[in-house]
Structure 1
């Protein structure tokens, strides 16, 4: 029974109790505590949070600016590199062309020198051949003269020891031979 009585008493006090509505004292203390916490948070914590957010925002913006500047600098360096590379290629092309022209000029000069040297050698050879021909002709003349004097002396039967007479006979004989050679050449032509 005692349990029943206690249960009824608890049931009556519970009927006055409203769980959704707080008691007035608790409401006032809770509101004051909330206001104190709100003032402390607003005075100390919010400015530090805002300062930290501003610093991070500045760091991010500064980082973006630095990244943009670095990217612009890298692009400028790349453009400069490309320009220098194009200039170097152009210069190399120009140098190759100059080398080709110089090579062609050197070949032409060497060819001219070789032709001049060949002409000089041919002329020297021709003059040497002409000199040797003249020498051979002189020797032949002397031998033919000696032989013709001997032959004429045998034919005439007298000695042609006189040098003036010898020379006239030799010259006449050689002129006759040259005249016969010319007529032979004219007939064959």
Structure 2
């Protein structure tokens, strides 16, 4: 016989079976099991579920807050992009306006400078004409004086009479003018 079989026979003879628990142990063990199941089921499980629900809510709330923050950041980014595009557009418009104003100012300054140049040229021409007329008058009087002196020497009489001198000079200069016109016309 084997050892296990011999122990079983010995224990059954004594009435104490090591594999079968005593009845009071089964009752106490069953009551303890039910107490533990009730304590765990009624107290611990709701607390665990509550903690899990709170963690789930916190995680879902964090995700929602992150999504909201991301959406807000995205909308802010879009608004910044729009403002940047608007600012670039405004800058381009202002640059174009400044260029137009600069061109207009340049044109106005050029016109003013040209007008001033024309005025100065006209004033210079007028001054030159006045100087030429004055030189012509001085030259005419000098030619007249020299002609009278020369004519007086040739004729041998004095031509000191002012009226006579004036008529001779005018007639002489008129003859010179006529001769010069004939030469230019030929």
**TM-score, scaled relative to structure 1:** 0.87
RMSD in angstroms over aligned alpha carbons?
Answer: 2.1
Unmatched 5+ stretches in structure 2: none
Separation in structure 2 between the aligned mates of residue 40 and residue 8 of structure 1, nearest angstrom = 42
User: Residue 105 of structure 2 aligns with which residue?
Assistant: 106
More relative contact order, 1 or 2 (CA 8 Å, 6+ apart):
1
Is 1:62 the counterpart of 2:67? The answer is: no
Deviations 1:61-98 (A, max 9, x none): 11111111111111111011001100100000001000
User: Residue 184 of structure 2 aligns with which residue?
Assistant: 185
Separation in structure 1 between the aligned mates of residue 43 and residue 51 of structure 2, nearest angstrom = 13
1:128 to 1:18, Cα distance in 2 relative to 1, 3 A: same
User: Residue 28 of structure 1 aligns with which residue?
Assistant: 27
User: Residue 13 of structure 1 aligns with which residue?
Assistant: 10
Shift of 1:50: 1.2
1:115 to 1:45, Cα distance in 2 relative to 1, 3 A: same
User: Residue 78 of structure 2 aligns with which residue?
Assistant: 79
User: Residue 37 of structure 2 aligns with which residue?
Assistant: 38
Deviations 1:3-45 (A, max 9, x none): xxxx9974622578584x6555443332222111101111211
Q: How does 1:71-150 map to 2 (within 5 A)?
A: 71-150=70-149
**TM-score, scaled relative to structure 2:** 0.88
Separation in structure 2 between the aligned mates of residue 15 and residue 148 of structure 1, nearest angstrom = 186
Shift of 1:184: 1.7
For these two proteins, the number of residue pairs brought into alignment is: 180
Unmatched 5+ stretches in structure 1: 1-6
User: Residue 170 of structure 1 aligns with which residue?
Assistant: 169
Instruction: Choose 48-57 or 9-18, whichever is displaced more.
Output: 9-18
Separation in structure 2 between the aligned mates of residue 60 and residue 138 of structure 1, nearest angstrom = 113
Q: How does 1:152-167 map to 2 (within 5 A)?
A: 152-167=151-166
